[in-house]
Structure 1
Amino acid sequence: MQFKVLLFLILFIPFFNSCGSSSSSSTSQTFTLEEKKFVHELFLTEYLWYDDVPSTINYAQYNEPQEMINTLRVTPPDLWSFTLTEEEYENFANQQTIGFGFGYTSDLQIFLVRIDSPAYGKLQRGDQIVEVNQQSATSTLIKEASQNVDQATQFKVIRNGTVVETTVTPQEYSFKVSLGKIITQENKKIGYLRYDSFTESSVNEFEAIFTNFHNENINELVIDLRYNGGGSLSTASVLLDNITNAYPGNIQIYLDWNDKNQNRNSIYAFEERDFQDGNELTMQRVIFLVTKDSASASEALINALKPYLGENNIITIGENTHGKPVGMSGRAYGINYYFLINFFVKNSADQTSSFEGIAPTCSAEDDITHLMGDENETMFATALYYIQNNRCP
């Protein structure tokens, strides 16, 4: 299996009542004794597995917040509790970062280009990087170049057997996480949504896409979550509202805290009929494209639909998802935000997804030789086959 490198400053970061994959961060601020005690107290009170945390520890042994979290978190199952700075969170929530905006495998093949990043439209998924600034490409060279903000970098890549040269300048940039299109296959209109992260600022993006889906009266919906590591559950709730308007007021997602904090249990519900804005769909079936990088809010979205549409109408194509049926609520101390696992994320039938992930209905490889949304890309092609034949290829 190839190792993937992501040239994004912050990736998959959760916040209040959210669930996303981990992203560690360290700061230059002094990690004071008072802050260490604060973090320890969070573990002893709000942490989901608080009863497995030692009540007495040697605070002097910890020099960095993440170091302390890594020692105290209960692993397994907790692979995710982490910290980051206020600035890092704000940048992610507002879909802002720095660099080129692409991810690549261990053999330097690009698998993802962030929408509207500096690399978008210049490099593309499937490109094999062979030279960086006229030197033989290495991961080190790419990383170093990505940090040289506003300095143009020359790339030579192999694209579909042809040498392509292009220049990309790493910079601070705002990105998008949503792309949508409609294809017609045998008189069926199929809506395709690429959705890369549950950021709070992405709602307007996918609302516009669903308005088009609604106006075009699509018959089937495919949502591509293959690299979506999670984010805001509030955003997941809005996305659920757009997928179906048939269950106004019903529970979508239930947050179940530890036994010390049952008063903090809460729900997300489908919007009431009076608040629906008219662009919602009423899908009877949804097909999701998923990989091991599809985590947390992605899994919560899939799990939330099962009690309403039925297991047989929630189709997952790809491989087992990440396996994070839990979430966290951020707490602040100084400039640092702390995200410790606080609650199980359940659906209206009181079911969580599994720590082993959600198994695929149809197995399919992430075919990085084709663009996401390309009808010949293996995962999407498998979805189209399922739509027409009601079975896996």
Structure 2
Amino acid sequence: MGFHKSGKTKIALALSVMALAACGGSSNSGTNLVTDPGTSDAPTWVAGTFEAASKFKDYCATPRTGTDPYNNNAPYPDKSGSELHEKMWLRSYSDNTYLWYSEIEDNDPNNFNIVDYFKQLKTTQTTDSGAKKDNFHGSQNTADYNKRTQSGVTSGYGINWQFNALVPPRDLIVRYTEPNSPADLAGLKRGSQILEIDGVDFVNGNNVDVIDAGLFPEQVSESHSFKLLEPDGTIITKTFTSADVVSSPVQNTKVIETEIGKVGYLQFNSHIGLAQEGLIDAISQFSDENVSEVVVDLRYNGGGLLAMASQFAYMVAGDNATKNRTFENTIFNNKYTSTNPITGNSLSPTPFYDKKIDYVSYQFTSEDLPSIDLQRIFVLTTGSTCSASEAFMNGLRGIDIDVIQIGTSTCGKPYGFYPQDNCGDTYFTIQFKGVNAKGFGEYSDGFEPKESPQFASQIKGCSVADDYSKALGDPEEGMFSAALEYMKSESCPVVTLSRASKSLDEVQKASNEDGLAIQAPNQILNSIILENKILHRREIK
């Protein structure tokens, strides 16, 4: 069904059995509860034969006890089972819902542990460029996932890192810090590089255990010493103490005066619920100050809520351009051409949402979103620009809003999934593909900026490397300055930078060739899945 403008319209929760609700207290929160402790019949694997996933759901080798603070303190659904139950659920669930289910090899689950079995439940085919078709398959502890996605909280120093090399000589650069985080309060600058951690040589050292412990503290209140090289060549030593850090997904909103008029800028890092107010405030400011152009910095935004991407696209394009238009259509595997395999609902287009959403209750409010009615938008991108960020770009292109891309190619994820909890782990397996109003969604190798585009996945704009010598939002920073120049001349300036970030594929390939690699590959993938690439799908009834 289409979107009806009503404050009572509710967004259907489509995140499996997990209800993303506000945390609340409960008188029985300390009790030791296990739902239905009975054991299911022992499963048997038969190649090519798939039983219903529901037969194995929530039968766990180690059932959780107590209640779920992220589901109104309801008892966990776990029942006593085995590792084979968990693997058989993964197998049936993947065969039913995975976008490329026919490309999964049906290997005997008895030959794998749970983690390794899930890892291979995906296609091994590649895109036209030779890249992996599915680079977004993963899992995460459910409690950690809920903490991040529902409260915007992560444990650490509040540093967003750029991993350029995980093996000697290692190269790790600060992208940005979260406001009021331990790193921000310590004055850590964008572009700083690690030289030592807790006295251990980070660049060429062999003590990867110390390096990993310092980079990824397991608990809050851990203190670790870092020697860093700042962008100006100064070497400094700082001690960071880990803490629970609240994300600020919208930062550096500003309006600057230029030769062609006022230009708005905002740094948009993640499509999580906390971003909605920041986006509304930014668009309201741009409208009040009558900006003529807007630059959206998506270079580190790997996605999140598709509903928010639709809202933001509406705020950019306005009512006239989006009324009764489709933001995105969803395509599942060929078993489900008219219904959603997860929710059972009939498939219908995602429109451009023009109302504020209560992301706790998943209801539309009666509050209209502001808009600035632009005919074109500038986006700053890198290989970390992904998922809902790409959907934002693609959705606007589908209604002929001119998108100007400045930076490097995006990650290439026209796909999404419904995060699904089972036995304390949340699994992310590609289940659908998104296409815009023109039916285009073939950008699995990313959107590429080109002065003279020749293919549909190439977008008019300029190829510019990430510039770590300047702060994000500085008009002299490489990408931002290129966007400002393009506004004046409609051509790409010559930008010379001292360094450029490497792609995730390059980093992973190098790390797999050396036993001294720090454990960041899994950390990176989990971070992308958790913080960026989760396409929290909501359907409007």
Q: TM-score range by the shorter chain?
A: 0.7 to 0.9
Q: Residue 269 of structure 1 aligns with which residue?
A: 351
Gap change, CA 1:221 and 1:142, over 3 Å in 2: farther
TM-score relative to the length of structure 2? 0.63
Code of the aligned partner of 1:388: K
The answer as to whether partners of 1:130 and 1:157 remain within 8 angstroms in 2 is: yes
Gap change, CA 1:28 and 1:125, over 3 Å in 2: farther
Decide which moves more: 239-248 or 254-263: 239-248
In the aligned structure 1, how far is the partner of 2:383 from the partner of 2:162?
16
Instruction: State which of 88, 95, 108 in structure 1 corresponds to 2:144.
Output: 88
* Cα deviation digits, residues 106-165 of structure 1 (max 9, x gap): 324323323443212421111233444566545845532241631443444333233444
In the aligned structure 2, how far is the partner of 1:342 from the partner of 1:137?
39
The answer as to whether partners of 2:387 and 2:414 remain within 8 angstroms in 1 is: yes
Q: How does 1:1-393 map to 2 (within 5 A)?
A: 16=15, 29=62, 32-54=83-105, 56-65=106-115, 67-76=116-125, 77-93=133-149, 94-102=151-159, 103-105=161-163, 106-121=170-185, 122-133=187-198, 136-138=201-203, 140=208, 141-146=210-215, 147=217, 149-159=220-230, 160-179=232-251, 180-246=253-319, 247-262=322-337, 263-264=339-340, 265-271=347-353, 277=368, 279-310=370-401, 313-360=402-449, 361-393=461-493
DSSP-derived class of the 1:287 partner: strand
In the aligned structure 2, how far is the partner of 1:89 from the partner of 1:338?
10
In the aligned structure 2, how far is the partner of 1:378 from the partner of 1:211?
27
The answer as to whether partners of 2:248 and 2:274 remain within 8 angstroms in 1 is: no
Code of the aligned partner of 2:181: S
The Cα of 1:28 is off from its aligned counterpart by 9.8
% identity of equivalent residues: 28
* Cα deviation digits, residues 193-232 of structure 1 (max 9, x gap): 1111111332122222222122212111111111111222
Number of residue pairs matched by the alignment: 366
Q: Residue 11 of structure 1 aligns with which residue?
A: none
DSSP-derived class of the 2:294 partner: strand
The answer as to whether partners of 2:87 and 2:118 remain within 8 angstroms in 1 is: no
TM-score relative to the length of structure 1? 0.85
The answer as to whether partners of 2:260 and 2:488 remain within 8 angstroms in 1 is: no
The Cα of 1:16 is off from its aligned counterpart by 4.1
DSSP-derived class of the 2:432 partner: strand
In the aligned structure 1, how far is the partner of 2:211 from the partner of 2:276?
32
The unaligned stretches of length 5 or more in structure 2 are 1-13, 17-59, 64-81, 126-132, 164-169, 341-346, 356-364, 450-460, 494-541
Q: Residue 23 of structure 1 aligns with which residue?
A: none
In the aligned structure 2, how far is the partner of 1:244 from the partner of 1:154?
47
Gap change, CA 1:248 and 1:275, over 3 Å in 2: farther
CA RMSD of aligned residues (A): 2.6
Gap change, CA 1:192 and 1:28, over 3 Å in 2: farther
Return the index of the structure with the highest Cα Rg. Answer: 2
The Cα of 1:389 is off from its aligned counterpart by 1.3
Q: Residue 75 of structure 2 aligns with which residue?
A: none
In the aligned structure 2, how far is the partner of 1:58 from the partner of 1:306?
45
Code of the aligned partner of 2:468: I
The Cα of 1:341 is off from its aligned counterpart by 0.7
Gap change, CA 1:53 and 1:187, over 3 Å in 2: closer
Code of the aligned partner of 1:256: I
Code of the aligned partner of 1:291: T
DSSP-derived class of the 1:72 partner: coil
DSSP-derived class of the 2:300 partner: coil
Gap change, CA 1:278 and 1:33, over 3 Å in 2: closer
